[in-house]
Structure 1
Amino acid sequence: MTKKEWLDLDIDQLELLDVTETEKARVKRHVLKKRGKTPILRRFAAASSIFIGAAAATGFAFPSLASQLPFMDNVIQFFSDEEARYTNFEDFSSDINLSQTSNGITVMIDNAVYDGTNITVSYALETEHDFGEAMKVKAPYWFDVAGAIGSGGGDQITRISNTRYVGLATFTPHFKDDAYPETVKITWSPKAFTSMSNNLEIEGDWSFDFSLERLEGDLLLVNRTVEQEDVNFTLQTIEFTDVSTIITYEQTVSDELLAKWPSATPIFRITDNLGNVYVDESSGGGVSKNNGKTFNGTTDFGTIQSGASQLIIQPVEIVSELSGEGHIEIELEPIVIDLKK
């Protein structure tokens, strides 16, 4: 079917899932909406794995069906109604528009953005197999970033019709000495997709390779420290980009605390002076080079709401035995940041 035929379709007559009128309207916006953005430079090169000890992968992908499938256009909008952090994704992300078909499944990467710390990729799937209500990429085939020594993150896949799904992956690569590059080279080679509602698993041969330039942001040096009950927490920086707000931090815990509780992980409650809630007890990625005594990490969330003049960041330490046998929470004093006028 051509793009013109797609555009001439009566959306209300499509054979879709049983959805609400609001959801129908969202799908209709995706089919009819047009965008224009600066294309991204695609690189066809090997990329080393972001997982320590994993093998490097070389991927090649070529633009084909992706730019001709209206349901794939602006995938992020299927998620942005639920996640305020994706509000500006469409405007500042790069068009990837790559697709490959293998064993009855077409995988299509729509857009991606690199905010200097985190990478977000939107993609879509069209399949002739019945995966049911929910499906996932079979582990451990994650996104590989050249030069990274590790990574953390997650993804979600949402069903939008009997044969189509949209996905969103957000991950944070970690580089030696926290030296984040201006350009990241990414490879994604999923080997199989599995159903979460039946026993179906389909293997295939998909491989994508592309690069992203870092978004420019305004960096605020903070270096504010709060301390309580053997935990020393320093908020180092806040970076404001067009799509996100990123905080970096370092924490140190005492030997006495680690002897009793071998894990100490911060989560955050982040609000502003207007009452907007950005983070409600969520954490981000990080690394420790000395078994948890010190921990360097990042957490990101959406852009700051207009009119806010202060950002309130409260760290809460979750210290545990790692065995599920018990944990406690240590609330640290909130750190109040005056925002630029």
Structure 2
Amino acid sequence: MSMKEWIDMDIDQLELLDVTDIEKARVKQHVLKKRKKAPFWHNIAVAAVIIVGASTATGFAFPSLASQIPFMDNVINYFNDEEQHYKNFEAFSTDIGLTETSNGITVMIDNAVYDGTNITVSFAIETDHDFGEAMKISAPNWFDIVGASGSGGSNQITKISDTRYVGLSTFTPHFKDGKYPETVEVTWSPHAFYSMSNDLEVKGDWSFDFSLDRLDGDIQLVNETIQHKDVSFTLQSVEFTDVSTVISYEQAVTDELLEQWPSVTPVFYVTDDLGHVYINGTGGGGVSPDNGKTFKGTTSFGAIQEGASKLIIQTVEIASLGSGQGHNEIELEPIVIELKQ
């Protein structure tokens, strides 16, 4: 059955199978993949929330139960472009398969991966409500990482049918000691879903928790500094994993520049010597201990295309007044990295 046929399937017309048959089908589907099952952790506080909400929400805490619901799989395919930025996500990500339903909205976390710096989660939503073309999610913390002091990142939600949406979230947790653990524990508790085209807002009780192990990666130290009149930018390293490429950097700006522009943050344009475009004006997560005078962060993109021998990283500093009051762009010299073969 094709993906389109699966998506368009009328759930009411499905023939119910015994649990044993479904489990066999799911094992058969995933045995050919390199994806691994996520270890699950539950503390007393989380368990209490699930029990209290049992009268209003239907929770499926384990993949064996979630697999009984005809829903989505391979969500990442909707976010792959011509450059196949997520081409290895399906093979090396962890199969989460957690599903919860509340107030006519079913949310499923499909897959997730932790590359040692960033976390990417694919998810799907099925709803009885008319949210229109654009949906947003309200949550106190988008995805929360146990032990992290905060996180920054981006997310996108795409409508694929009248009742279904797919989503992708990439975020970078920040740890006070600057060290990233071998395993991260992730929680997510959306409070409400609301439409961007009408006044619809649906509150409910959804709660997820799962663990992710760090992917093995190769780090190539760079430590190249580009000096501008008011900005000093250092590309520290590039880490390569099976699903992503992570660049780590730090920068310092002068007091004079900050007096004129209170916010100075970098965005990146990354290509290779074969012409592939990896990111085109994208920032990343980071922290500043001194109100922007120094800044340390990372940004990530997909795995390097086969055959590429050079990575060209162009940094543009966005000096801003904030709140759409105006900005100035400071273009830095590109950094060319010779890729190890």
Provide the TM-score with structure 2 as the length reference.
Answer: 0.84
The answer on 1:45 being equivalent to 2:40 is no
Cα distance change of structure 1 residues 82 and 105 upon mapping to structure 2, 3 Å threshold: farther
> Counterpart amino acid of 1:157?
I
Distance 1:158 1:167 in 2: 6
CA distance in 1, matches of 2:204, 2:325: 41
Matches within 5 A, 1:64-213: 66-69=66-69, 71-81=71-81, 84-213=84-213
Q: Deviation of residue 214 (structure 1)? A: 0.6
The 8 Å contact of residues 66 and 109 in structure 1, kept in 2 or not, is answered as no
Q: Structure 2 unaligned runs (5+)?
A: 12-27, 51-58
**Deviation by residue 1:34-90 (Cα, 9 ceiling, x = unmatched):** 333321211113799xxxxxxxx9778512653234541111112224673211110
8 Å CA contact retained: 2:191, 2:204: yes
Cα offset for 1:12?
Answer: 10
The question of whether the paired residues in 2 share the 8 Å contact of 1:121 and 1:168 is answered with yes
The CA RMSD measured in Å over matched residues stands at 2.7
Deviations 1:264-298 (A, max 9, x none): 11111111111211121211111100111100010
- Deviation per CA, 1:248-269: give whole Å up to 9, x if none: 0000111121122221111111
* Conservation of the 8 A alpha-carbon contact between 1:47 and 1:146: no
Q: Deviations over 1:113-132 (max 9, x none)?
A: 01111111111112222222
Matched with 2:30 is 35
| Cα offsets for 1:139-194 (capped at 9, x unmatched) | 43411100111111122222222222221111111111321111000111111111
- CA apart distance, 1:321: 2.1
Deviation larger for 204-213 or 315-324: 315-324
Partners of 2:215 and 2:232 lie apart in 1 by 31
- Which residue matches 1:258? 258
1:90-138 per-position Cα deviation (integer Å, ceiling 9, x unaligned): 0000011111111111111111101111111111112222222221212
Query: Does residue 332 in structure 1 map to residue 322 in structure 2?
Result: no
Q: Is contact 1:62–1:98 with CA below 8 Å preserved after alignment?
A: yes
Helix, strand or coil for the counterpart of 2:239? strand
The answer on whether the counterparts of 1:61 and 1:207 sit within 8 Å (CA) in structure 2 is: no
Aligned residue-pair number: 312
Q: Is the 8 A contact 1:268 1:314 kept in 2?
A: yes
CA, structure 1 residues 227+197, in 2 after alignment: closer, same or farther (shift >3 Å)? same
Kept in 1: contact 2:83–2:277 (CA 8 A): no
With structure 1 as the length reference, what TM-score do the two structures score?
0.84
Aligned-residue sequence identity (percent) comes to: 65
How many Å separate the matches in 1 of 2:129 and 2:7?
A: 24
